[in-house]
Amino acid sequence: MNPSLKRAASVTALTLAVVGYALLLWRGPWWIDGDHLRTQDLQPADGVVITGVRTALVALGAGGLGAAGLYYTHQTLRQTRKRDTEQAEAMAEGQINDRYVEAVKLLAHEDSLTQRLGGIYALERNMHDSRRDHPTVIAILSAFVRGAAAVPPDDAEFTGDPGLWVRHRLRQDVQAALDVIARRPALTPPVRPNLCAVDLRAARLDGVCLTTADLVDADLTGADLTGADLSGADLSGADLSGAWLHGANLAGADLSGTSMDGAALHGARLDHAVVNGTSFADTRLHGASLVGVDLSNADLLRTDFTGADLTGAVLGEGLADLGLVGLDPGRSSGAPAARTVPAAPPAPGVRPIR
């Protein structure tokens, strides 16, 4: 309702109530007990009745005024609290916006590591304080990692063993940004960090949580991903050659076209992962779980399956020529064992099984 119309209606109602109450005080005794009251030549008995009725009406009026006063006070306090809450929320939102702007400015400082770290942790606080800013903060930190994670080509030198690489620390600010991304609150739907084509060769990322992350074409050669959670991540086209993935969770991950050559996946989980065109040459899968994985179009040259769980997995033909170790397709816990299917012609651009 229009405020002016609402105010006019309130004034009209109040005026009618006052006039009605005045009429009730004046004529009420006769309206209420007219059969016992004279209209002329009033007697003392009539005065007693009239006084009693009017006293009762005054008491009722006083009670009504008191109730109206309490209601008005309650409404006033309610509006005041609402206004104070709105003002506090507006101030908090303004402070978050100010912190956000300052954090981005700090992150852009190329000459000061301290200021960049301050910007990263300020953005983390904003992410936790403002659900609305959560996707934006993750996008900014992901872009920062993509732009800052480049390393010289000789930063990770191959030592001769496919599973051993010289370890190098990431830049401190890049590591901090990845840590903040890994600590992001769980939301529905989840926020998916875009770490496409990042260069994290030989990085120390043990225990990192990058569930559902976009790591397409990422270079994780020789990275330490021990205990990492990469479930549901998109690692298609990524390079994890020689990476350490002991106890890592890759369940449901997309590993299409990924190179896992020489990687160590002892006790890792790859249940229902997509491994179309994935290379597992010289990969160690001791005690790994590959439940329901279709390996028919993966490169399994000299792959070590010792103790691996292949329940419900699908294997290609010609396994005897691949130098596999410890393959036990029947290892299961009451579920269907692994089955072998004829090898399909390789898709364009996909390396066939050797």
The rounded average pLDDT for each run of 10 residues, N- to C-terminus, in the chain (354 residues) is: 77 81 73 66 66 77 84 88 83 78 89 93 89 90 87 48 53 91 84 92 90 94 95 96 97 97 97 96 95 94 93 78 63 49 45 36
Residues forming beta bridges with residue 209, ordered by sequence position: 229
Q: Quote the pLDDT of residue 95.
A: 75
Cα separation, 31 vs 285, in Å, equals: 99
Angle (nearest 5°) at CA 114 between 219 and 100: 85
- Residue 211 identity: T
The predicted model scores a pTM of 0.66
Taking 3-state DSSP, the helix, strand and coil percentages for the chain, each rounded to the nearest 5, stand at: 40, 10, 50
The torsion of the CA quartet 92, 93, 96, 100, rounded to 10 degrees, works out to -170
Angle of CA points 214, 260, 201, to nearest 5°: 65
pLDDT at 272: 97
- Long-range contacts: 215-223, Cβ < 8 Å, 24+? 221/156, 221/165, 222/156, 222/158, 222/165, 222/166, 222/167
Nearest residue to 229 via CA among 280, 259, 193:
193
Q: Which CATH number fits domain 195-319: 2.160.20.80, 3.90.870.10, 3.90.1200.10, 3.30.390.10?
A: 2.160.20.80
What is the pLDDT at residue 321? 58
Q: Is residue 179 classed exposed, middle or buried when 0-12, 13-18 and 19+ CB atoms within 10 A define those classes?
A: middle
